[in-house]
């Protein structure tokens, strides 16, 4: 009999492989479904931008979220105002593989972790809203960070930005950390809910 840790690792890598393949071949619809959600978030966080286009572009089999914006009102940057120009626009992009990184790690963790069928069902219910929140902390913020860096580069200035710091965190392994931490939290929350339900039934 295999050691439990080895068996767990095999289950995790099998789930990772299957989910990664499924995302690659059948995930386009999910990516497009996220666009209205991401568009809404960017419109509310980046209220100085007017979105001209937001879609998925593919080149040489690599797909990316592509965002095109123009300024909707003056923006103050490091002591200087930038005024809207009706002929001006900026483009930012984020490859969709970044979405798959978190999603695959997150789901592989919660479904490879041992449990009963009731636990897997509850994990799925908990995972849906949590996964959407995690993705909203990724692609939309990365796109806003890219737009901010474009403005700074055009001005030839530097300015502190929490968006840029967050982008650097994600690129430095933050997606891996978020996927695993989110999976662990989902398992803990689902198991805690089932434990509380069992205790209530016994008291009744």
- Residue 120 to residues 103, 123, 129, 176, 180, Cα–Cα distance (Å): 16, 5, 15, 22, 17
In this prediction, residues 160-168 reach a mean pLDDT of: 85
Cβ distance 146 to 92 under 8 Å? yes
Mean pLDDT of the region 134-142? 93
What's the whole-model pTM score? 0.86
- The pLDDT of 66-90, averaged and rounded, is 79
Residue 83 in 3-state DSSP? coil
pLDDT at 1: 46
Whole-number mean pLDDT of the chain?
A: 86
Cα atoms in the 13 Å half-sphere on the side-chain side of 94: 24
How would residue 2 be classed by pLDDT, with cut points 50, 70 and 90?
A: low
pLDDT range class, residue 162, cuts 50, 70, 90: confident
160 pLDDT band, cuts 50/70/90, is: low
SS3 2: coil
H/E element holding 113? Answer: none
Q: What is the pLDDT of residue 27?
A: 84
Contact between 64 and 93 (Cβ < 8 Å): yes
Round to whole Å and give the CA distance between 187 and 195.
12
């Amino acid at each position: 009999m295999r050691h439990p840790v080895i068996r767990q690792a095999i289950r995790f890598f099998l789930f990772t492989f299957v989910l990664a393949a499924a995302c690659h071949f059948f995930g386009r619809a999910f990516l497009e479904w996220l666009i209205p959600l991401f568009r809404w978030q960017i419109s509310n966080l980046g209220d100085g931008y007017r979105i001209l286009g937001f879609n998925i572009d593919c080149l040489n089999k690599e797909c990316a979220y592509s965002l095109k914006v123009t300024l909707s009102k003056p923006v103050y940057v490091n002591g200087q105002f930038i005024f809207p120009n009706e002929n001006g626009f900026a483009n930012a992009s984020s490859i969709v593989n970044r979405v798959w990184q978190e999603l695959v790690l997150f789901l592989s963790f919660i479904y490879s972790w041992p449990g009963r069928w009731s636990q897997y069902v509850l994990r799925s219910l908990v995972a849906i809203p949590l996964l959407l929140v995690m993705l909203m902390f990724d692609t939309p913020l990365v796109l806003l960070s890219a737009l901010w860096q474009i403005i700074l580069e055009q001005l030839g200035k530097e300015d502190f930005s929490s968006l840029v710091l967050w982008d650097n965190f994600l690129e430095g392994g933050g997606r891996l950390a978020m996927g695993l931490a989110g999976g662990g939290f989902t398992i803990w929350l689902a198991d805690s809910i089932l434990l509380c339900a069992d205790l209530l039934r016994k008291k009744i």
